[in-house]
Amino acid sequence: MEIQFLLSIILSSSLLLFLLKKTITRNYSRKTDAGLPPPSPPALPLIGNLHQLGRRPHRSFQSLARKHGPIMLLQLGRVPTLVISSAEMAREVTKTHDVVFAGRPRPIAVDIFLNGHNDFAFSSYGDYWRRARKLCVIELLSQIRVQSFQPVRREETVALVEKLRLASGQAVDVSALILGVVNNIVARCVLGRRCEGRGADILLRLQREGGHDLDLSWGNIKAILVDMMIGGTDTTSTTIEWIMTQLARHPSKLQKAQEEIRRVVGQKLVIEHEDLAKMHYLKLVIKETLRPRETLDNVEVAGFGIAVRTRVLVNTWAIQRDPTVWENPDEFIPERFENSPVDWKGRDFQYIPFGAGRRGCPGLSFGTVTLEFVTANLLYWLDWELPKGLRCENLDMKEVYGLTTHKDKPLFLVPIPHSF
């Protein structure tokens, strides 16, 4: 009797697991209207391929892509997810089939956080998204508007430099200070009372005056401002953190960048925004540091059928370290961009730190000028040393995957005011 009961349990469990696996995999194991799906690694019931990701998913995606190809379908829980790991495939999804891949899933957490109101970062492609993005680009992120924020960038950067000068000879948490200054710049430009023409005032004025093609509720205004705060702070501060980390690890590159900046500025002792255009090597350093969607319909990519509502992840980390495209991809070599036409504006698909296509970053101008101005001041006014006992080759370079790929441990450096 007990044996029959155990056999019944085993058979029932086996049948249940079989049905679960069939249910989970049916979305990507069957042929779609567009054709057969891309290659997929074996998946487990319920969790799919989640067990294969680890703490640094971007590296796991790269490793899996080496086995299964640059276009690969994973099952992350119940969500079919297309992972793109080459420049050619990135061109397919961000240019050739741009409209189909312009959708965005709407996580429940976003709805809760924004109280159900529409921002534009997580809005799916459609009329509202087009109008909201156009409004932000024209009214908040245009070249004229970005230039109008120069006093804010200068005041906050000067305050940061003064803090570092007062800490001369002491090891300081550079990561925290950089996050603070970028947060202050973005907050003042978006919300701050001292910033003339702040983002909130602009949106409220547009709400009162009307005359545009987007009906702005107070909830939508708050949601758009949240997009700008999150999108403008973490990405920029993380990039500056990595710039300082790489330069601290490569003293000759640090010296070369400092010599150029000090030569451009000369005896003025003030960095003007106009000076940034002359800092050629600084731009190479930033480019080298930066080297590290949901479908709306069935579509065929590279001969594979992609089902509607498949999530899409373009692994720029892997693409920008592809040894078939980049020589010595794991080495920090700003000079690789010398006389190179490759730029970050989304036209060169082997290098897309700001994205490409319709979903490319609308705040590119705001972000790059903040990157350049803050970094130039840090290198102009201060010399930098590693904490006592730490050698360049032992500097921790581990990263953590998140909204951005930031350092696992904060960067500590010793600032020394430069003697002019």
How far is Cα 276 from Cα 365, in angstroms, rounded to an integer? 13
Measuring CA to CA, which residue among 151, 145, 153, 154 is closest to residue 202? 145
How far is Cα 77 from Cα 79, in angstroms, rounded to an integer? 6
Measuring CA to CA, which residue among 418, 407, 417, 419 is closest to residue 173? 407
Q: Which amino acid is at 162?
A: E
Q: What is the CA radius of gyration of the chain?
A: 24
In SS3 terms, the chain reads as CHHHHHHHHHHHHHHHHHHHHHHHHHHHHCCECCECCCCCCCCECCCECHHHCCCCHHHHHHHHHHHHCCEEEEEECCEEEEEECCHHHHHHHHHHCCCHHHECCCCHHHHHHCCCCCCCCCCCCCHHHHHHHHHHHHHCCCHHHHHHCHHHHHHHHHHHHHHHHHCCCCCEEHHHHHHHHHHHHHHHHHCCCCCCCCHHHHHHHHHHHCCCCCCCCHHHHHHHHHHHHHHHHHHHHHHHHHHHHHHHHCHHHHHHHHHHHHHHHCCCCCCCHHHHHHCHHHHHHHHHHCCCCECCCCEEECCEEECCCCEEEECHHHHCCCCCCCCCCCCCCHHHHCCCCCCCCCCCCCCCCCCCHHHCCCCHHHHHHHHHHHHHHHHHHEEEECCCCCCHHHCCCCEECCCCCEECCCCEEEEEECCC
361 is in an annotated binding site: yes
How far is Cα 92 from Cα 38, in angstroms, rounded to an integer? 14
Residues 308 and 296 sit within 8 Å (Cβ to Cβ): yes
Residue ranges of the binding site for heme: 361
Residue ranges of the binding site: 361
